[in-house]
Amino acid sequence: MSLEHDIEHLLLQEQHLRFATLDFDDCWALGSRIREVAQARGLPIAIGVELNGQQIFFSALPGTTADNSEWMRRKLNVVRRFQTSTYLVQRQLALKDTTLPERSAAAHADYAAAGGGFPLKLENGLCVGGIVVSGLPQRQDHALVVEVLAEWLGKDPATLALPPEQP
């Protein structure tokens, strides 16, 4: 799968995965749903959901470490700053053969352009928060978030899913 195709598909995901409304209860339920899916699959992930700059949900499952929380903080900073998914930022950087610090002066210690962070946007495009997962390879972190958001919003997860990465 080409970087260009990934980027097109990631932009499409962000267009389709928007909310009419979003409140604290929704954020808690979204985080809880990701946790349920991860538990059922035995995934060692940490999950965070933020709304309007306030952490609403956090959970870490067995197999995670404090390092996952640090990755989540850095990914969420990317979502806040660029109001787009962290995997989209990563793929765009890869296409240009550059890094986030080189491209935007975003310090490596505070920003991680690695899959797993996704913006929570309203239908009008306003970014009101972010959802972050850490613990799996970055494409899988991203895929889990997209799967649950698609399910939540009544969209077909298979249609919105990225194809598996080719070796």
118 closest CA partner among 28, 37, 30: 30
Mean pLDDT (the chain, rounded): 96
Query: Rounded mean pLDDT of 10-37?
Result: 98
Q: What is the four-CA torsion angle of 52, 86, 149, 51, rounded to 10 degrees? A: -10
Determine the pLDDT at residue 24: 98
Determine the pLDDT at residue 105: 85
pTM of this structure: 0.95
Determine contact, residues 89/82, Cβ cutoff 8 Å.
Answer: yes
Helices of type H across the chain: 3-16, 24-41, 66-82, 86-95, 100-104, 138-152, 157-160
pLDDT at 1 over 80: no
Determine the pLDDT at residue 164: 81
Residue with tokens 């895929």: 143
pLDDT at 154 over 80: yes
Predicted confidence band of residue 106 (pLDDT cuts 50, 70, 90): confident
Q: Can you give 43-88 as a three-state secondary structure string? A: CCCEEEEEECCEEEEEEECCCCCHHHHHHHHHHHHHHHHHCCCHHH
- Collect all residues with Cβ–Cβ distance below 8 Å to 102 and sequence separation of at least 6: none
13 closest CA partner among 116, 112, 152, 150: 150
pLDDT at 92 over 80: yes
The model's pLDDT over 45-66, given as tens digits with 9 standing for 90+, comes to 999 999 999 999 999 999 999 9
Torsion region of 97: left, alpha or beta (phi above 0 gives left; psi -120 to 50 gives alpha): left
Predicted confidence band of residue 166 (pLDDT cuts 50, 70, 90): low
pLDDT at 91 over 80: yes
